[in-house]
Structure 1
Amino acid sequence: MLPEGYDTVETTVRAVLRDVLGLSADRVAGFTATTPLFGALPELDSMAVAGVLTEIEDRLGILIEDDEVDGDMLETFGALVEFAANKALV
C-alpha cells in the first residue's frame, strides 16, 4: 500500500520532468516505475539533473542534500519518485 500523498509526489515529479526537460505530456504520462531516466533520456544530462532536483525541491518543499544524489535515484522514474516521496512524506 502506498503512503498517503504518494500520488501527489508522482504527479509532481512527472510535471517537473515535463517542464524542466521540455518533454511532452503524453511521453511523461507513459512513464512507469521501470522507465529508465539518466542515461536513457538525452534531455536528462548532467546539467539538467540540477534543474530537475531544484524544481522538485521547490514544488515539494523539501531539501535534497548533495550527498543524497546518486545514480540509483536517477536510474528509473520509479526510483526518483520513491526518493522524492521518502523526503516529502516524512
Structure 2
Amino acid sequence: MTTDLTAPVAQPDDTDAILRAILRDVLGLSDERVAGLDANSGLFGHLPEFDSMAVAGLLTEVEDRCDILIEDDEVDGDMLETYGALLAYVSAKRAEG
C-alpha cells in the first residue's frame, strides 16, 4: 500500500464546535446548554439571551472565527430560527470559501 503525499489531507469539519463556542461566548450560555443544542433547538426568539442586540455580535464572531463574509441580504429569520439552520448556513459559507 502506498500513500499519495500530494493528496490533500481531509480535515474534520469543525464548524459545529466553532459555532457552539461562539454561542457560549457571545450569549453567555453554559457549556451544558450549548451541548444540549440539536438541529431543532430554537435560537432567535427562543433563547432569551439571543435578542436583536445579540444578533450583530454573534454574526461578527461567526465571520471572524469562521473566516467568512455574511452579507446583509443573507441574514433572515429562517437562518437564525434554529441551531440546525444556522449551522447549515455557516457550513455552506465555509464550503464556498
**TM-score > 0.5 by shorter chain:** yes
Match of 2:62 among 56, 62, 67: 56
Do the aligned partners of 1:38 and 1:76 also contact (CA within 8 Å) in 2? Answer: yes
Q: 2:19: which partner in 1?
A: 13
* Superposition CA RMSD, Å: 1.3
Percent sequence identity is 62
Match of 1:44 among 31, 50, 63: 50
TM-score in terms of structure 1 length: 0.92
TM-score in terms of structure 2 length: 0.85
- Give the deviation of 1:51 after TM superposition: 0.4
Distance 1:6 1:13, change over 3 A: farther
The structure with the larger Rg is 2
Match of 2:78 among 72, 78, 81: 72
CA distance in 2, matches of 1:6, 1:46: 32
Q: 1:33: which partner in 2?
A: 39
In structure 1, the residue corresponding to 2:49 is in which secondary structure? coil
- Gapped regions of structure 2 (runs ≥ 5): 1-9
Q: 2:88: which partner in 1?
A: 82
In structure 1, the residue corresponding to 2:14 is in which secondary structure? helix
- Give the deviation of 1:6 after TM superposition: 7.1
| Deviation string, structure 1 residues 16-66 (Cα, Å, up to 9, x no partner) | 000000000111001000000000000000010000000000000000000
CA distance in 1, matches of 2:42, 2:32: 16
